[in-house]
Amino acid sequence: MPWSRIKPDTNEPDFSNDVLLDNKAGRRIAYAEALNEALFQALSLDPRVFVMGQGVDDPSGMFGATRGLHLKFGADRVFDTPLAETALSGVAVGAALGGMRPVYFHNRPDFLLLAMDQLVNHAAKWHYMFGGAACVPLVFWACVGRGWGSAAQHSQALQGLFMHVPGLKLIMPATCFDAKGLMLSAIADKNPVLIIDHRMNFKQRGLVPEEPYTVPIGKGVIRRKGRDVTVVAISHLVAEAYAAAQELAEEGIEAEIIDPRTLRPLDEELILESVARTGRLVVTDTGWKTGGVTAEIGAMVAEKGFASLKAPIVRVCNPDLPTPSGYTLERAYYIGKDDIKAGIVKAVRGS
């Protein structure tokens, strides 16, 4: 089995060096380059891996993530797909059932809704329905955007819908290191994995080992230690939460920042242990508030860690509204450092 040669690596460089972009020695590459390298290594390692999706062979290569791969591996293994997500998702599921390892790029999250029948009704259930005899080693990838006028459809964050589905692993990386390691973990997994990335992550450059490595699915990480409040932040909001915590430290508030890295399975133990130390919880996500990721994480802590709480749980998310497309309206709609900072102060000081 070729994947046995890849060893798990949890020795991620200090997150502060990625956030602050200092000159620490090491190989620093762009977020898209980290994804591209993971795909290149997976394609090189395992002939069963192939990459499909709209625009994967374009010069831009899916925001850079798939750039040039079709030139290295040919159109049989890296190929463009038509506007037929339901049908092509069925092709991907069938290929996975037949022993291949497809990586299907959906460059916009709204296209996932067309693939939802295949992903939720079939891919996520076959291993269970056949008593473990069938596996669906399939990766779906989509990118949520903001700040460039992508409006109500292309920019919507749908992770709350997919977190609801048993049998489907859900990954949302926050760093270049995790983008590569979690992509390789997803491709190596025996059953379906959905990766939802964020366009803001693509502004990053981070320290990434050149050799193949995996990051364990279901294991979160503490990005910053603190004693006063636990902040669980999703995707690019990890960097925003970190920046908010650094500013609040000057005011005497020490926030602990947790990056779950995967939403299903969720590292409940890490979150509950942190809340037991701090007594307070802020959860921030790029999606909507009602019935979303923050609701699930907040409910989990209320159910399993209520005795540790010294104050009500605070949730910081985008408003329950379709995303506007105008630049000024976008600035008012999207949450960031200042919103998280206010949430932390509310949790700690009650105002």
| Parent domain of 299 | 221-349
pLDDT for 323 equals: 85
* 162 and 252 within one domain: no
3-class DSSP assignment, residue 16: helix
Transcribe 267-281 into DSSP letters: -HHHHHHHHHHHS-E
* 277 and 164 within one domain: no
Domain closes at, from 147, 176, 207: 207
* 245 and 196 within one domain: no
Residue 121 included in any domain: yes
Cβ atoms 223, 258 nearer than 8 A: yes
* 202 and 134 within one domain: yes
- State the CATH number of the domain containing residue 243: 3.40.50.920
* Residue 164 designated active-site: no
Strand runs (DSSP E) across 54-172, as ranges?
Answer: 78-79, 101-106, 139-144, 169-171
Domain closes at, from 207, 234, 263: 207
* 227 and 199 within one domain: no
Residue 178 included in any domain: yes
* 60 and 34 within one domain: yes
pLDDT for 18 equals: 56
Cβ atoms 222, 242 nearer than 8 A: no
Residue 253 included in any domain: yes
pLDDT for 20 equals: 46
| CA–CA dist 250, 254 (Å, integer) | 9
- Single-letter amino acid, residue 40: F
Residue 235 included in any domain: yes
| CA–CA dist 36, 33 (Å, integer) | 5
pLDDT for 2 equals: 73
Domain count, the chain: 2
* 190 and 119 within one domain: yes
* 335 and 189 within one domain: no
Q: Which residues of the chain fall short of a pLDDT of 70?
A: 1, 3-5, 9-26, 147-149, 351
Residue 181 included in any domain: yes
Question: 59-91 pLDDT, tens per residue?
Answer: 888 889 999 999 999 999 999 999 899 999 999
* 148 and 14 within one domain: yes
| CA–CA dist 244, 222 (Å, integer) | 15
pLDDT for 26 equals: 62
Question: 227-253 pLDDT, tens per residue?
Answer: 999 999 999 999 999 999 999 999 999
Phi/psi for 195 (5° steps) reads: -110, 120
* 197 and 237 within one domain: no
Burial class (CB in 10 A: 0-12, 13-18, 19+), 7: exposed
Residue 213 included in any domain: no
Strand runs (DSSP E) across the chain, as ranges?
Answer: 28-30, 49-53, 78-79, 101-106, 139-144, 169-171, 193-198, 205-207, 221-224, 229-233, 255-259, 262-264, 281-288, 314-318
* 279 and 153 within one domain: no
Residue 32 included in any domain: yes
* 345 and 226 within one domain: yes
| CA–CA dist 254, 33 (Å, integer) | 34
The active-site residue out of 70, 106, 122, 154 is 154
Domain closes at, from 184, 207, 230: 207
Instruction: Locate 208 and state its tokens.
Output: 């990434």
- Biggest alpha carbon–alpha carbon distance for the chain: 59
Cβ atoms 341, 233 nearer than 8 A: no
pTM of the full structure: 0.93
Instruction: Locate 307 and state its tokens.
Output: 């005795």
Q: Please, what is the average pLDDT of the chain?
A: 91
Cβ atoms 262, 168 nearer than 8 A: no
Residue 170 included in any domain: yes
